[in-house]
Structure 1
């Protein structure tokens, strides 16, 4: 088995790693946008949760196979993160989950009702495993991240487009949105979680909080 690095490319193979009772599979879709989709499987029940049905429903459905997809979590309302949502949900009957402030926009863009809206501190079950919701307003009003701590103490964080290696997500020149995002990421992620937490963004490669923490002041000064 290839060791997990988090380096995946559209059209290339997925990468998989074990995190306690969760199996994490990362797949990149769409050669132009190179979105990441994450399929989480409970090793006790085989139930699945998909984070961001971003594109290429046939590939995502092939990855899911005949297993039970209980939910699709959309990390935020931007179009490139939910283009396959309608097709995946139609094929699987999965519950649709999103941050409350983004839910109406997701439904408007996709035609898919959001079955469950979540806020900071809520839990999302993957079989017998629970993900913790972290609300991170800034990239969009309802952006969320999801945290999982394995039985070995290793933390795993799915950040959507709110945190990347090298900085927080784009706020498109909106100074208030940037201030909100950098503050939320600092207080709700870096002030809470340890350096060894591995995070998985909505595009590109992964990183750890320890690798990024020394650069928070640079990000604040740089803005976006």
Structure 2
């Protein structure tokens, strides 16, 4: 079946195969948080992005393969409320942006800085620090050597705009600058991105809207 990125809470995962990773997307919790399971196709090692809610669903998604790692994209509670339970059940190593660690009420083993590498099996993911939605928000970039790049953005980039900066002009300017420079400035239009809520998009579909986002201020 063709991957669409459209999932519903309580519904099945949408699964995508790349050369190095199997990507499974589910929606969990009361505000439709997305969680992503990345499985290295060569080794079977698995990494979860955002233990957002519903640990039973997340543990079932991981299955017998367990979890080696859990990455939390930012400190807002709806993205880590199941982290402690899932990490305890699996023994997974936990990661989050350095400037958000103190805001996450669960164990974080590895603080992450801009440009750091997080591995899942033989696959490398590059962290990009995007300041504005939260102080330590990170996105993860997977550059598929045989296909398009894949980008996991948390709540920093969505189809239609950057993440919520609560009408703070300083935070808005910071996040837009980081997204423009570190995401749109470095990745091609065919890059597929996976946000923390809702459907996916590509950078090419969103790039023409950047002037509109800047003008409207959110």
TM-score range, shorter chain: over 0.9
Whole-Å Cα distance in 2 between the matches of residues 87 and 120 of structure 1? 27
- Which consecutive aligned stretches of 4+ in structure 1 deviate over 6 angstroms post-superposition? none
Number of equivalences: 218
Q: After TM superposition, give the deviation of residue 19 of structure 1 in Å.
A: 1.5
Question: Aligned residue for 1:10?
Answer: 9
Question: Aligned residue for 1:98?
Answer: 96
Question: Aligned residue for 1:68?
Answer: 66
TM-score (norm 1): 0.96
Instruction: Deviation per CA, 1:123-175: give whole Å up to 9, x if none.
Output: 00010000000100000000000000112231000000000000000001111
Whole-Å Cα distance in 2 between the matches of residues 64 and 138 of structure 1? 31
Whole-Å Cα distance in 2 between the matches of residues 194 and 121 of structure 1? 18
Question: Aligned residue for 2:110?
Answer: 116
Structure 2: segments with no counterpart, 5+ residues = none
Q: After TM superposition, give the deviation of residue 66 of structure 1 in Å.
A: 1.5
TM-score (norm 2): 0.98
Say what the alpha-carbon RMSD is for the aligned residues.
Answer: 0.7
Question: Aligned residue for 1:209?
Answer: 203
Question: Aligned residue for 1:137?
Answer: 131
Q: After TM superposition, give the deviation of residue 68 of structure 1 in Å.
A: 3.3
Matched residue SS, 1:69? coil
Question: Aligned residue for 1:168?
Answer: 162
Q: After TM superposition, give the deviation of residue 81 of structure 1 in Å.
A: 0.3
Structure 1: segments with no counterpart, 5+ residues = none
The 10-residue stretch of structure 1 (15-24 or 200-209) with the greater mean CA deviation from structure 2:
15-24
Whole-Å Cα distance in 2 between the matches of residues 153 and 189 of structure 1? 18
Whole-Å Cα distance in 1 between the matches of residues 198 and 136 of structure 2? 22
Question: Aligned residue for 1:50?
Answer: 48
Instruction: Deviation per CA, 1:3-58: give whole Å up to 9, x if none.
Output: 1000001011101001211100000012x310000000001110000000000000
Instruction: Deviation per CA, 1:48-74: give whole Å up to 9, x if none.
Output: 000000000001001111213111000
